[in-house]
Amino acid sequence: MSNFEYAPAPESTAIVDIKSEYGLFINGKFVAPKSGKRFTTINPATEEVLAKVAYADLADVNLAVTAARSAFTKVWSKMPAAERGKYLFRIARILQERAREFAVLESLDNGKPIRESRDTDIPLAAAHFFYHAGWADKLEHAGMGNNPKPYGVAGQIIPWNFPMLMLAWKVAPALATGNTVVLKPAETTPLTALLFAEVCQQAGLPAGVVNIVTGDGVTGSHIVNHPGIDKIAFTGSTGVGKAIAKAVAGTKKSVTLELGGKAANIVYEDAPIDEAVEGIINGIFFNQGHVCCAGSRLLVQENFADELLEKLKRRMSLIRVGNPLDKNTDLGAINSASQLARIREISDSGDLEGAERWSPACNLPQKGFWYPPTIFTGVSQSHRIAREEIFGPVLSVLTFRTPQEAIEKANNTPYGLSAGVWTDKGSKILWTAQRLRAGVIWANTFNKFDPTSPFGGYKESGWGREGGRHGLAGYLKAGK
Amino acid sequence: MRIDVMKTYKLFINGQFPRSESGRVYELSDSKGKFLANPAHGSRKDLRDCVVAARAAFSGWNSATAYNRGQILYRIAEIMEGRSEQFVAEIVAQEGVTPAIAKKQVAEAIDTWVWYAGWTDKISVLNGSTNPVAGPYYNFTIPEALGVVAIFANGKPSLLNLVNGLAPVIASGNTAILMASEKFPLSAITLAEALATSDLPAGVINIITGKTEELVSWAGSHMDIDAIDASGLTSKQLKQAQELGAENLKRIHSFDGKASPLRITSFMESKTVWHPVGI
């Protein structure tokens, strides 16, 4: 059987107007950084510089917090809730209108396939605003008592893997519940957040309600340690999450954390094999595996493993790696040189510790950061590749004999963000889902997200939930 | 004249009443300074034994039906009712309050068990949901117990504080380690005697007496404790617990004295399950 060849199908970048230089978005305006410093953000698929971005130091964070506080006290907390909600509806609609622009910019700055930014990241970001808009004037039904109150100023720090979507997960519930925001996008992916600042301007959002400060981890720590911040929301690594938890100890700050994962994807012998293969592919190769809830540990029932792995490898050989802006690309660029180094380092430990590596033949571009879709078989639980979050397109395959063993292995991790289960037997799905210690269980599917659906982890995968009614709790003080 | 038979106040671990493995006790006086008892001065090893027992008991207690758990919580109230006089006498001795005030506290403590007994099979309705996702999936969220919870319930009212801490934590299926009040530990041990005869499986509640300052640092840093009810801690102790607890991201919460379903849900996780809909 021969495969059809794909002609190149690049999405045009003409829709995006990237400025050569960006300021900080403070009190409704773009301003030059007090620090006087700038850093560059690059396209990870080509290593070309996209723009110079302002670096926020403590003086800049101070200004942003002051603006957010003033907007909270003078405007946002006094506004009728229904009116507050209407701003969120406006933002949702503008995001929909400008969706393609956002999608292209996201793929340029992040390296993810346009198919994903266009069909997943941006539509979901808009949906998050639309969903939370409707909550603004219904908070007495949020399960937090009759008269729940916002914390005040929320400091929000988001990662580079879903820049715009994580912004929406943070900003939408914060605004809907009446908080104001100081947001720091990731160092390597600041551009869609800065475009979002323009959306806030177009929506007429009162100055200071959303402030966006670009920078690095030091900028983030200024936010975390700032006495004028009432609530911290962070998505990122478990290591940084723990440092934040330690830093806020003894303060009144409320904290929610969405951290790492090492999700088990359990495939029983009676699973629908073709659907399972698609689910495994989606579970680990979606967004280059830069997904905290990625199904990075495949647990296959032993007697079914050979058959499944054969199909999986065949399917992997059809994955198209390359230009993120090509509409047929499945696997885009690794987000940064440092992330690529990390993926290489942990994956190489798999070779050293005796696991067997396999990747399909694929031509990786010369420039940019790339890693081929990879699986390791013969992995044991003690291997680093079975324990540590790789955050790349690398799947570790383990086997089990009984359902009890699958549960033991699946739960044998300090993480507890997500898990998958594949079987045609309904009672076995529920039996398994009950026993998995994870916040999101995908049964006969994987990596599905929705603003109505709470997301968040057990154990060291974090504190609190985002999305759904449960997600509001992180932004509200219980009423009497 | 008859000489009273005085009680040896021991620990409560895995359904048994051991002395501290360290052999340590500390002297406790009543509100007028008169010798009252030598409760165990629990050690780090005792705390570890509590955690082992609580972890082992978690799976069984968590998978018991909510109906079953509710009946056992109610049973605790029944057994406490029969021991009211002893609880009253100890509160009077420890806290120096009048018998009438002590009696009111005991009644409230018993009624608190009854209140939470009724919550076991209702909390899922309160904090669960089906979520209308935009796609062909059935999606629901259920609250689940999170594991082993350490409870600091110091201060007065000594018995009521214990029950306010314990009842919501175990109602949902968590197992617990109660750090008894350093100054008022007797109610905790007598409560253990009620728990031991209430059909509560061994290890679901474990009670340790000793020095709060030591217990905070040991519990805060123990990697197999999932959460802490810090209601009884000073702000300095709370900070210490939070700093140490960050290492495994313990869920740490404090509450005022009121009974509330938020005390239950604060020590629960939410699990969301997706499944495609189709033929």
Structural Rg of chain B based on CA atoms: 19
Give me the amino acid identity at A240: V
- CATH number among 3.30.70.141, 3.30.300.30, 3.40.1180.10, 3.40.605.10, domain B38-276: 3.40.605.10
Q: Which residue of A has its CA nearest to B272?
A: A440
Chain A interface with B: residues with Cβ < 8 Å: 127, 143, 238, 241-243, 245-246, 248-250, 257, 259, 414, 416, 429, 433, 438-445, 448, 450, 452-456, 458-460, 462-463, 465, 468-470, 478
- CA nearest A49: which of A38, A60, A36? A38
> Would you call B241 helix, strand, or coil by DSSP?
helix
d(CA B60, CA A159): 39
Question: Could you tell me the two tokens for B45?
Answer: 């090893």
d(CA A327, CA A323): 9
Q: Chain A contact for B221, CB < 8 A? A: no
Residues of A in contact with B276 (CB under 8 A): 444-445
Sheet holding A210-212, edge to edge: A29-31, A24-26, A210-212, A180-184, A153-157, A231-235, A254-258, A462-463
Q: Which residues of A are catalytic?
A: 258, 292
> Which of A250, A440, A469 is closest, CB to CB, to B239?
A250
Count of beta carbons in the 10 Å neighbourhood of residue A6: 11
Q: Which residue of B has its CA nearest to A471?
A: B270
Helix (H) / strand (E) containing B227: strand B227-229
Residues of chain B with pLDDT below 50 are: none
Question: Could you tell me the two tokens for A182?
Answer: 């100081």
CB under 8 Å, gap of 24 or more: what pairs does A34-42 form? A34/A59, A34/A60, A34/A63, A35/A59, A35/A60, A39/A187, A39/A216, A41/A109, A41/A187, A41/A188, A41/A189, A41/A190, A41/A191, A42/A188
Q: What domains can be seen in chain A, in order of their start residue?
A: 21-259+459-477 (3.40.605.10), 264-443 (3.40.309.10)
| B248 to A462: CB separation less than 8 angstroms, yes or no | no
Question: Could you tell me the two tokens for A259?
Answer: 């951290």
Model ipTM over 0.95? yes
- CA nearest A34: which of A52, A53, A58? A58
- CA nearest A455: which of A433, A434, A470? A470
Strands A297-301, B129-130: pairing kind: unpaired
**What does residue A314 show for φ and ψ, rounded to 5 degrees?**
-60, -45
Characterise A465 by phi-psi region: left (phi > 0), alpha (psi -120 to 50), beta (else). Answer: beta
Exposed, middle or buried, B64 (CB in 10 Å: 0-12/13-18/19+)? Answer: middle
Residue with tokens 């420890």: B94
Please provide the distance, in angstroms rounded to a whole number, between the alpha carbons at the two ends of chain A.
68
- CA nearest B100: which of B84, B116, B115? B84
d(CA B214, CA B244): 13
| B248 to A127: CB separation less than 8 angstroms, yes or no | no
Calculate the dihedral angle through the C-alpha atoms of A102, A104, A105, A106, rounding to the nearest 10 degrees.
80
- The residue count of chain B comes to 279
Characterise A141 by phi-psi region: left (phi > 0), alpha (psi -120 to 50), beta (else). Answer: alpha
Exposed, middle or buried, B68 (CB in 10 Å: 0-12/13-18/19+)? Answer: middle
Residue pLDDT tens, chain A, 480 long: 566 788 999 999 999 999 999 999 999 999 999 999 999 999 999 999 999 999 999 999 999 999 999 999 999 999 999 999 999 999 999 999 999 999 999 999 999 999 999 999 999 999 999 999 999 999 999 989 889 999 999 999 999 999 999 999 999 999 999 999 999 999 999 999 999 999 999 999 999 999 999 999 999 999 999 999 999 999 999 999 999 999 999 999 999 999 999 999 999 999 999 999 999 999 999 999 999 999 999 999 999 999 999 999 999 999 999 999 999 999 999 999 999 999 999 999 999 999 999 999 989 999 999 999 999 999 999 999 999 999 999 999 999 999 999 999 999 999 999 999 999 999 999 999 999 999 999 999 999 999 999 999 999 999 999 999 999 999 999 876
Q: Which residue of A has its CA nearest to B59?
A: A435
Can you say whether the dihedral through the CA atoms of B155, B160, B166, B168 is positive or negative?
Answer: negative
- CA nearest B11: which of B147, B278, B212, B209? B209
Residue with tokens 């916002």: A150
* pLDDT score at B155: 86
Can you say whether the dihedral through the CA atoms of A53, A56, A60, A61 is positive or negative?
Answer: positive
The H-assigned helical ranges of B42-177 are: 44-63, 66-82, 84-95, 99-117, 123-127, 158-171
d(CA A172, CA A166): 10
> Which of A441, A459, A468 is closest, CB to CB, to B273?
A441
Contact A126, A96 (CB under 8 A): yes
d(CA A358, CA A300): 17
Contact A84, A178 (CB under 8 A): yes
HSE, side-chain direction, 13 A CA sphere, residue B148: 22
Contacts of A345 (CB under 8 A, 6+ apart): none
Q: Chain A contact for B146, CB < 8 A? A: yes
Question: Could you tell me the two tokens for A286?
Answer: 């979606």
pTM given for the model:
0.96
